[in-house]
Amino acid sequence: MAESSPPPPQPKIEAPILDAAPTQSATSGFKDFSSSSMVEGSKDFLESNSWVAKIAFLLMVVIGFAILFRLMVAFLGWLFSPSGKVILVNGYINGSDSSTISQDPNIKKSITVIRSNNEKDGIEFTWSTWLFLNGFTNDQSYHHVFNKGSKEMGSNGIVSTNNAPGLYVNPTYDGITVIMNTFDANDNKIVIKDLPIAKWMNVVIRVQNNNCDVYVNGRLTKRHIMKNIVKQNYDDVNVCLNGGFSGYLSNLTYYNNAISIAEIQDILTSGPNMKSVSKNLDDSFNRPRYLADRWYFDQNAVPS
């Protein structure tokens, strides 16, 4: 039997020799990172970022506190500041019942009005009152309704100084006169005639910058453009001086702004306050306050 031949020799496969350079580089990087100089540099970088974040946070807190503080101050100022609307005669009085309403806040029972200040369109304020005129007379002097200013009465029945404003019934009761002092004149006079008798009527004196508007029962009856600004004063408010007028007055009200047409209409809708303030009057006074259509539609009835 023949002997079998031995198997052919297998080729020798040698394992590839890997380059140790990358491994050595990585190892070297880890060694460098673990070194004290690298750790200190990273620590300094992290600490610097931490300080920036802290400073930014503190700035945000300070800014937020400042905004909140301003809002709180504005809210408290609005909450506790005196109202711009002041009712000086709250009810109705006899036109001959004189009174002086003090503007000194240190005096008991004073009713202080707030002056117009830094309004967008200049000086602004409004006075509103209801009047009931009894009838005609043959007097030659004016009849005092109210004025903010002095008490010195001239021979014609008009306060000689400081009418800001002053409201008077004309001598023959055929209308009313509004006087408004400015810094260059004391005789800015607005005369309105042909007013109703024995009917309640609302009179609004509205000042905005150099314009003085007079509304009667919600209608703009006259506009007077003054050459200078109104001379506001700190004097008292006088009501029905020197015998006043024959009739009644209700709800003398002051606003430290130029009220809107809608607010004037609200006053007209509410009507006069029929609660008696005078001792010799009662609450049973009841006279119609309507006006004839002629007042609203006849342009000749009221001078423009």
Per-residue pLDDT for the chain (304 aa), expressed as one digit of tens each?
455 566 666 655 555 555 555 555 555 554 554 555 555 556 665 566 677 788 888 899 999 999 999 998 888 876 666 668 999 999 999 999 999 999 998 898 899 998 876 667 789 999 999 999 987 777 889 999 999 999 999 999 999 888 999 999 999 888 999 999 998 877 789 999 988 888 999 999 999 999 999 999 999 999 999 999 899 899 999 999 999 999 999 999 999 999 999 999 999 999 999 999 877 776 656 666 555 555 555 544 443 3
pTM of the model: 0.71
Q: How many other CB atoms are found less than 10 A from the CB of residue 117?
A: 9
Among candidates 128, 117, 179, 182, which has minimal Cα distance to 154?
A: 179
DSSP-assigned states of every residue in 13-77: PPPP----HHHHHHHHHHHHHTSHHHHHHHHHHHHHHHHHHHHHHHHHHHHHHHHHHHHHHHHHH
Classify domain 84-297 at the CATH topology level: Jelly Rolls (2.60.120)
Q: Could you tell me the CA-to-CA distances from 66 to 5, 52, 56, 70, 79 in Å, in that order?
A: 103, 21, 15, 6, 20
| DSSP annotation of 112 | P
Q: How many other CB atoms are found less than 10 A from the CB of residue 221?
A: 23
Contact 93, 248 (CB under 8 A): yes
| DSSP annotation of 228 | S
